[in-house]
Amino acid sequence: MIDYEAGTWGLGFIVSLNGSVIPKAFAWALPNATIAFILCKYANTAGAGKLDLSMNGVTAVWGSFAFILGFLLVFRNSQAHVRFWEGATCVNKVRNHWINAFGSILAFCSKDPEQKDEVRAFRHLCMRLLSMLYASALQRMSDMDDDTMEIIDPTGLEASKLAVLRNCCDADSRAAVILQWLNRLLIDGEKSGVLKAPPPVIMRAYQELTGGHREMHLAKTITDIPFPFPYAQVITSMMLVHWVVTPLLASQSFVSEYWCFVVVFLSVGSLWALIYIPMQLDNPFGDDANDLPLKEMQHDFNTKLLHMLSAKAESCPAFRCPAEEEPMQMVTSWATNKPGAYSLADLK
C-alpha cells in the first residue's frame, strides 16, 4: 500500500508513478489522440480530398452511448471501492479479534507460583499458535506470488503436529486445525487450573477466536469471487468501441486539429484511467503497489504478541495513590514528538 503525502497545496503526489494508472491510460490516449489529429487535419484540408464522413446526427446518439459508459464506469469503481474497504476492514478485524483473545488469555492465567512453569509454557504455546493462525489467515486471503509469512519461532512444538500442518492441502485447512488446537488448549488449561477465571468469563476468549475466524472467511470471498464477468466484458467492449469511434467524431467536430488532439487525449485517457483504477482495487490482497501490506501486517501482529508476553507487561503496574491534600496535575499531551510535550517515553 502506498503511504503518500499530499503536501501543503495537495499536489505533492500527482507526479508519482508508483502505483499510478496514468501511464496505462496515456498508452491508450496518445495513439487515439494522434489518429484524431491526423483525421481532423485531413478533414479540414480544402480540395477534392476533403474527408467528409457524413456523421450529422450521430453526435446525439453517441452522447447516449457515452452516458451509459460513464454510468457503468461509476458503478464499476464504486464496487471496487467497496470490495477494497471490506477487505481492509475484515483483515483488521481478524487481527483485533485475535489480539484481544490473547490479551484475555494472558489475563486469565493463574498466578500460583507452583504453576509458574506450566503457565509460562501455556502462554508461549498460545502465542506461537496465534502467530501461525494469523499467518495462515493472511495466506488464505492472499493472491500474491510469494505468500510466505514470518511466524514466531516454533522451536519446541511437537514435530508430528507441525507435520500435520505441512500436510494440509491449503491455508484454510491449516487455519482450521490451528483454531481447533487453540480451543483445545483453552479447555485443557481450564481443567488443569492454568486458567483461573469463571467459565462465562473464559468464554470471551473463545468468542474472540471464532470472531476472527469468521472475519477471515468474509475477507476471503473477495479473493474467491471476482467482479462479475458480464459487467467486465460489456464495459471493456464499450471502451474499445469508444476508442475507435471517438477520433472519427472528433475529426468532424473540430476545426483546429490541435484542440482535437487535446480534447480526445484527455477524454480517452480519463476513461481508461477509470477502468484501470478498479482493476487495482478489486482484490486488495495481491502484489500491486496499492494492495494491503500483508507481510508488514503479519510482522506487526507478531510484534504485538511478543510485547504482550514480555515480563514487564505481564502484570499491572503498581500505583501510589496521592494523598487527598496533594494537588493533581494535567499534562499537555499523552504521546507526541513535540519538544516539551509529555510522551510515553517520559514514563519511568
- What element of type H or E holds 296? helix 294-309
Determine the 3-state secondary structure of 195 from DSSP.
strand
> CB under 8 Å to 294, separation ≥6 — which residues?
91, 138, 141, 142, 144, 147, 149, 285
pLDDT digits (tens, 9 = 90+) for 106-149: 888 888 888 888 989 999 999 999 999 999 999 888 888 888 89
Does residue 348 surpass a pLDDT of 60?
Answer: no
Mean pLDDT of 241-262: 87
Better pLDDT: 339 or 317 = 317
Does residue 50 surpass a pLDDT of 70?
Answer: no
Centroid of chain to Cα 149: 16
pLDDT above 90 coverage of the chain, percent: 39
Question: How much is the pTM?
Answer: 0.83
Q: What is the pLDDT of residue 342?
A: 47
**Closest listed residue to residue 270, CA positions, set 5, 74, 78:** 74
Determine the 3-state secondary structure of 18 from DSSP.
coil
Side chain identity at residue 330, one-letter code:
M
Kindly report each contact of residues 340-345 with a partner whose C-beta sits within 8 Å and lies 24 or more positions away, as own/partner.
Answer: none
C-alpha cell at 141: 486471503
Distance CA 173, CA 311 (A): 34
Does residue 11 surpass a pLDDT of 50?
Answer: yes
- Residue pair 298/134 in contact by the 8 Å Cβ criterion: yes
Instruction: Tell me the β-bridge partners of 195.
Output: 109
Distance CA 178, CA 131 (A): 10
Does residue 341 surpass a pLDDT of 60?
Answer: no
In terms of Cβ atoms closer than 10 Å to its own Cβ (0-12, 13-18, 19+), residue 135 is buried
Centroid of chain to Cα 260: 40
Does residue 71 surpass a pLDDT of 60?
Answer: yes
Distance CA 113, CA 256 (A): 89
**Closest listed residue to residue 130, CA positions, set 296, 293, 308:** 308
Return the sign of the alpha-carbon dihedral for residues 125, 131, 134, 138.
Answer: negative
Minimum mean pLDDT range among 7-11, 26-30, 65-69: 7-11
**Closest listed residue to residue 143, CA positions, set 280, 45, 270:** 280
In terms of Cβ atoms closer than 10 Å to its own Cβ (0-12, 13-18, 19+), residue 305 is buried
Q: Whole-number mean pLDDT of the chain? A: 84
* Residue 25: pLDDT band with limits 50, 70, 90: very high
**Separation in Å, CA 75 to CA 2, 84, 232, 237:** 24, 14, 11, 16
**Closest listed residue to residue 1, CA positions, set 276, 293, 301, 222:** 293
> CB under 8 Å to 283, separation ≥6 — which residues?
83, 87, 143, 222, 223, 226, 291
> CB under 8 Å to 234, separation ≥6 — which residues?
72
pLDDT digits (tens, 9 = 90+) for 289-316: 888 899 999 999 999 999 988 877 777 8
Instruction: Tell me the β-bridge partners of 109.
Output: 195
Q: Supply the Cα-derived Rg of the chain in whole angstroms.
A: 30
Count of helices and strands (H, E) across the chain: 10, 0
